[in-house]
Structure 1
């Protein structure tokens, strides 16, 4: 387990990173990548949408372009305070402080569940993915963006020490163990020199 997969370490990390997160994040996960990921989802007129690990609200901002009923959850109050500045606490978005592995929502609540840049910090990613599936409605969609496992051996050692990185084979295993039957993976990259993201779009079984 990487050092940032410990929840207390991750909270401390984001206490300081939150000050510059929006500027730094765009080198790895930018507007174009977000728009591409959003294009893989099917939005309805009255969809209820959840952003798990919403952070400062970068993904949330994109979701608001497609849905009016948007909810955001994160464990870091420092990250969410940046999102409050953009959207208010209960204005355009309903925010909750919580844990991806123990979501504070009843079953079958959301039409779309989105999570970008969060899974890499979950100590038990399969449990987190199962929670996303649990709160999604039957036939709903789940989209998860995480860091693709590097090919360079030196970078692999560094990645393993920090947090979760995974390839398509590992993504298959995690999503299948979490109960998903239909999903597909996409590789995204801001620039040829940027770290690659692995974006999975899954459909929740109807029954």
Structure 2
């Protein structure tokens, strides 16, 4: 586990990073990438979207161009202060200080759950993805943007020491273990490194699909 896959360390890290986050962020996660990621979703204007790890609200700004309701959540009070400065505490977005592993929302509360630049800090990615599935409606979509695993063995060792980096195979495993279907990935990035990020979109099984899957599993177990 990397040094920043610890919630206390990550909060301390963002206490200082929040001061320059909006200046640094465009070099890693820019508007073109955000637009491309949003384009991977089947999204309607009246969909209710949860932005987990919303930070200063960069993704939130893009999402508000295509939907009317976005709820933001972040574990860093310092990042949220920057978000409040942009949107106001009583503006169009309702922000929550909270933990991605224990979302303070009811089951099936959102049509889309979005998370960009957050998964790399999660100590238990599969459990967190299951929590995303819980709050996303059957048939809804979850989109996660995270850091693509480096190709160089030297950078792989450095990446592993810092936080979670992963490739498409690992993304497949995590999302399927969390109970998602229709899992697709796309590599994207700024011009200097077009494969720096991996964006995954997956669908929450609807009730009929879940029942069919459970029936098929039971039949296989019975035959065995």
Which residue matches 2:15?
Answer: 15
Which residue matches 1:36?
Answer: 36
Is the alpha carbon distance of 1:16 and 1:195 closer, same or farther for their aligned partners in structure 2, counting shifts above 3 Å?
Answer: farther
Q: Which has the higher contact order (CA 8 A, sep 6+)?
A: 1
2:102 aligned with 1:102, yes or no? yes
Distance in structure 2 (CA, Å) of the matches to 1:55 and 1:191: 24
Which residue matches 1:152?
Answer: 152
- TM-score by structure 1 length? 0.98
1:66 to partner: Cα distance: 0.8
What SS does the corresponding residue of 1:111 show, helix, strand or coil? strand
Gaps of 5+ in 1: none
Structure 1 residues 138-193: Cα deviation after superposition (integer angstroms, max 9, x where no partner): 11111000000000011001000000000001101100111112210000011234
Structure 1 moving runs of 4+ over 6 Å: none
Distance in structure 1 (CA, Å) of the matches to 2:145 and 2:173: 16
Count the aligned residue pairs. Answer: 207
2:167 aligned with 1:180, yes or no? no
CA RMSD after TM alignment: 1.0
Gaps of 5+ in 2: 208-224
1:42 to partner: Cα distance: 1.7
- TM-score by structure 2 length? 0.90
Larger-gyration structure (1/2): 2
| Contact residue 28 and residue 194 of structure 1 kept, 8 A | no
Structure 1 residues 92-145: Cα deviation after superposition (integer angstroms, max 9, x where no partner): 100001010110111100001100000000000001111111100111111000
